[in-house]
Amino acid sequence: MKHNLKLSFQKGDILAVLLVILLAVCTGAAFLPDKEHKSAAVAEIYQDQKLIKELPLHTDAVVEIDGDYHNVIEIRNGKVAVTASDCPGEDCVHSGWISLVGRSIICLPNRVEIRITGTEAEVDFVVG
């Protein structure tokens, strides 16, 4: 008993396969992270509760803030940190580099706050 199994595609079959592939690619692209959206994060620098600088995280920069003390704030590779300070304890320097929307660094002696703002907060952790 011989079975003659021969697969053949017709024009409609090829069109249906191409349509499914196109739909899969479009659906995948819709869920890819948007680089432009991600780079919309901004470092807002406040002193005495007044906004003094607003810098995008996608651009490297160094800002020096004078007041009762001196802070050096650096933005590099999409992150921000206080890299030097002459305030007592230097807690702001020990805060390290931050990049997530909603995070902040505070230098209490110089009354400086750095806030990361943007259009959408990233998930830091989930409880439950």
* Nearest residue to 78 via CA among 101, 60, 62: 60
pLDDT at 11 over 80: no
For tokens 């490297």, the residue is: 60
Question: CA-to-CA distance for 78 and 87, rounded, in angstroms?
Answer: 25
Q: How confident is the model at residue 37, as a pLDDT?
A: 47
Q: Is the pLDDT of residue 121 over 60?
A: no
Domains of the chain in start order, with CATH, are: 41-117 (2.60.320.10)
pLDDT of residue 10: 77
Question: Each residue of 61-71: pLDDT tens digit?
Answer: 999 999 999 99
- pLDDT above 90 for 126: no
pTM for this prediction: 0.64
Distances 80 to 41, 47, 55, 100 between C-alpha atoms, Å: 11, 16, 10, 10
Q: Quote the pLDDT of residue 44.
A: 95
Q: Note the pLDDT tens digit of each residue in 13-47.
A: 888 888 899 998 988 877 776 554 445 899 999 99
**For position 15, what pLDDT does the model report?**
85
The pLDDT value recorded for residue 125 is: 59
